[in-house]
Amino acid sequence: MLTSAPGPATPRPPRPGTTPAQGHPRSSVRARLRAVPSAVPSAVLSAVTSAVTRVRPFGPGLAVAAVAVVLSALVNRYVPALSTAVVAVAAGAALANAAGVGERLRPGLAFVSRRVLRVAIALLGLQIAVPHVLALGWQTLAVVAVATGLTFALTPPIGRRLGLSPGTSLLIATGVSICGAAAIAAMRESTDLPDDEEAAGGALGVVVLYGTAAIALMPLLASLMGLTPAQLGVWTGAAVHEVAQVAAIGATSGTLAAAVTVKLGRVVLLAPIVALTSYRRRAAGSARPAARRGVAQRRDTAERGDEAGRGDAAGRKAGRRPPIVPLFVGAFLAMVAVRSTGLVPEAVTEAVPGVTNVLMAAALFGLGTGIDVRKLLRGGRAALLGGIATAIIAATSLAGVLLLV
C-alpha cells in the first residue's frame, strides 16, 4: 500500500479580530508583560542615576558641614558659654583662612548657607508665640522696640561716616539690632547688595566678637550696677545679638525664660524690618536706573542710535530685584501664626529648637567660610562700627530698663 509523503503543515487560520502577524490574541499581551520587568528597573535606574548626578556635586560640602556641626555641638556641650552657632561660624572662618575652601566644597557650602538657612529661619518662627511676647507688658515691649529701631536707624549713617560700604553698614545694623547671624542672612537674601560676600563676612565677624564678649561682661556689669534679675533678663534679651548668647547669659544668671522671651520679641521684628528695607531699596533703585536710562538713551540717540535699545535692555535686566517679602520670611511669619494658635503639639515645640539649632549651625558654618580674617583685622572700621552699634543698643536698652522695668 502506497502512502504519500506528509506535506507541509497547514497554518491555522487566525481567529476573528486578529491579524496573521498577531496570531493568538494573548501573544501581544504576553510580550508586553515580558518586557515590563526589564523596562521598570531600567526606568528606576535611570531616575536614580540622574538624581545621583545632580546631588553628587553637593556631597563634599555637605559632608564637611555635617562634621562641623557635630564638632560644634561637642564644644558647646563641654563649654556651654560657646554656642553651637558661634563655634560653627568660627570653624568656617578657620577652615577658609587656614586651609582654604576648594572648588569641590563650594556647591555644598553654598547650599547650606542659602537653602538650609532659609529653612532654619522659617522654623525659628515656631519658637515664638505672640501671646507670650505680649505678656511681657508694654514697658518691656517699648524698651525692645526703641532700642532695636534706634540702633538700626543710626548704624548705617555712622558706617558711611567711617567710610564703610552701604552693604556692610546695613548688615552690621541688622545683625546687632535684631538677632545676629540669622538676621544678617535674611537681610542679605532680601536685598541686592553689590558687596554681598564681603559685607556678610564682616557683619558675621562683628556679631561673633561682641556677642561672645557680652556673655562674660553683661552679668558682671549688672552686678556692679545692682540690677535685679528681672532687669538683667530684659536687658540681656533687648541688647545681646544671638538667641544662643542670650540663653547662655540667662542660664548662668537664673533669668533664662525671661531673657529668651524678650529676645524672641526682638526676633519678631525681623520680618517687618527686612520687608521695609527691601521695599525702600527697591523703590530707590528703580528710580535711579530709570533716570540713567533716560540720559543714556538721549546720548546714544545722538551718537549711535542702535546702542540705545541695547542699553535699555541691559538696564531692565539689571533692574531685577528680589521680592519685597521673600518666601522664607513669609514662612517665618506663618510659623509664628501657627505657634500662636496653641495647636502645635508639645512634642513638636520641644523638638523644634534642637532641629533649628542644627540647621542654623550648618548654615552659619557655610557663611563663616566667607569671612576673611586678615581683611577683617586690617580693616578695623567694621569692628569699630560693630562696637558702636553694640554700645548704642546696650545703652538704650539699659536706660529703658532703669526707667520702666
Higher pLDDT, 284 or 44: 284
Residue linked to cell 543710626: 154
% the chain with pLDDT above 90: 24
pLDDT at 13 > cutoff 90: no
Higher pLDDT, 68 or 53: 68
Residues 336-385 have pLDDT tens digits of 899 998 888 989 988 988 898 899 889 888 888 877 777 777 668 888 99
Residues 215-232 have pLDDT tens digits of 888 989 999 999 999 999
Hey, which of 79-83, 231-235, 289-293 has the most confident mean pLDDT? 231-235
Higher pLDDT, 52 or 61: 61
pLDDT tier at 52, thresholds 50, 70, 90: low
Mean pLDDT of 60-81: 90
Whether pTM > 0.85 for this model: the answer is no
Mean pLDDT of 135-157: 94
Residues 323-333 have pLDDT tens digits of 666 778 788 88
Name the residue ranges covered by the structural domains of the chain.
58-404
Hey, which of 76-80, 217-221, 289-293 has the most confident mean pLDDT? 217-221
Please report the pLDDT score of residue 86 as a whole number: 80
pLDDT at 21 > cutoff 50: no
Please report the pLDDT score of residue 8 as a whole number: 53
pLDDT at 45 > cutoff 90: no
pLDDT at 121 > cutoff 90: no
* 3-class SS string, the chain: CCCCCCCCCCCCCCCCCCCCCCCCCCHHHHHHHHHHHHHHHHHHHHHHHHHHHHHHHHHHHHHHHHHHHHHHHHHHHHCCCCCHHHHHHHHHHHHHHHCCCCCCCHHHHHHHHHHHHHHHHHHHHHHCCHHHHHCCCHHHHHHHHHHHHHHHHHHHHHHHHCCCCHHHHHHHHHHHHHHCHHHHHHHHHHCCCCCHHHHHHHHHHHHHHHHHHHHHHHHHHHHHHCCCHHHHHHHHHHHCCCHHHHHHHHHHHCCHHHHHHHHHHHHHCHHHHHHHHHHHHHHHHHHHHHHHHHHHHHHHHHHCHHHHHHHHHHHHHHCCCCCCCCHHHHHHHHHHHHHHCCCCCHHHHHHHHHHHHHHHHHHHHHHHCCCCHHHHHHCCHHHHHHHHHHHHHHHHHHHHHHHHC
What integer best gives the mean pLDDT of the chain? 79
